[in-house]
Amino acid sequence: MSIAVIGAGAFGTALAIALSTNGDRVALWARDADAVAQMTASRENTRRLAGVTFPDSLDVTARLQDVFACDVVLLAIPAQTLRGFLEEHRDALQGKALVSCCKGIDIETGHGPTDLIARIVPNSTPAMLTGPSFAADIARGLPTALTLACAHEAAGEMLQAVLSTPTLRLYRTTDVAGAQLGGALKNVMAIACGACMGAGFGESARAALMTRGFAEMKRLAAAFDGDPDTLAGLSGFGDLALTCTSDQSRNYRYGFAIGAGTDFDSTVTVEGAATAKAVSKLAEKLKIDLPICAVVTRLVDQEITAQQAMQLLLSRPLKEE
């Protein structure tokens, strides 16, 4: 079965490298023709994932027709650009298995990645690949486990078999709502934890944020009939633990810069910033209490400082856990 990866950022490149080690040819699409030429000549992505050589079975292309000829298409593009890409190419994507590899909530519609796929490309098989993973680890063949979420069980079994590798182990679920919300909200919590550490509040405060943040993740997922067990798995707790504790996480680094009052590279995609705003809109509409998401939204909008955010959380009414 032919596989393509749309998006030659660090994560898309890492997935293409890992999948091409299975012996199948994999097409990696990049929008920038110069970047394609560089990767083709050097056989590595020096801009995003330097030091990892491409397998011979990985083909880099700037031609979308090469991608649209494949059966399985992994969408490794930012969450806030996914809707536009799907709308632009909906006809060419019909009938394919479309696997979202981004984690976020569309700020305009409030939909998650698989929801967008199902609505915009109805004659396709929507799925999502999510869980605790850094691009460098996947690309270098370090052992990684992820969640493959697909509402159609038979299609999920097929994708699990096609996308698993000797070092990339996929666990399957039909709980798409839980998986996509876990992946989205953990980025918001990573910003909160980064701000906590950047401001010097300490490890105990971070542990509290992670725990109460996990409660918010479960609360929102329940409103969409997500299974609590899904949130306790790789796509929820597992991803939360990784991104809230490592400076390899872009969302964590972004939050750390906010807490420390330092500059952050504006060219780096931080999915949690837009997701915090999208989730806050959802929470208001559904009347769900998500205080950490709310203060992260205000931090991102520069309405409050990390010190004010922590004071807002600490001054909330006392209650049972």
Just list the catalytic residues: 186
How many residues are recorded in the chain?
321
Q: Do residues 86 and 117 lie in contact, with contact meaning Cβ atoms separated by under 8 Å? A: yes
Q: Which helix (H) or strand (E) holds 240?
A: helix 239-243
Q: Which helix (H) or strand (E) holds 29?
A: strand 26-29
Q: Which helix (H) or strand (E) holds 26?
A: strand 26-29
Tokens of 203: 């490890």
d(CA 37, CA 141): 25
Q: Do residues 105 and 184 lie in contact, with contact meaning Cβ atoms separated by under 8 Å? A: yes
Residue ranges with strand state E in 93-226 = 97-100, 125-130, 144-149, 168-173
- DSSP conformation class of 138: H
135: amino acid identity, one letter: A
Q: Do residues 217 and 236 lie in contact, with contact meaning Cβ atoms separated by under 8 Å? A: yes
Instruction: Give every CB contact of residue 294 below 8 A, 6+ residues apart in sequence.
Output: 280, 283
Nearest to 254 by CA among 317, 315, 299, 288: 299
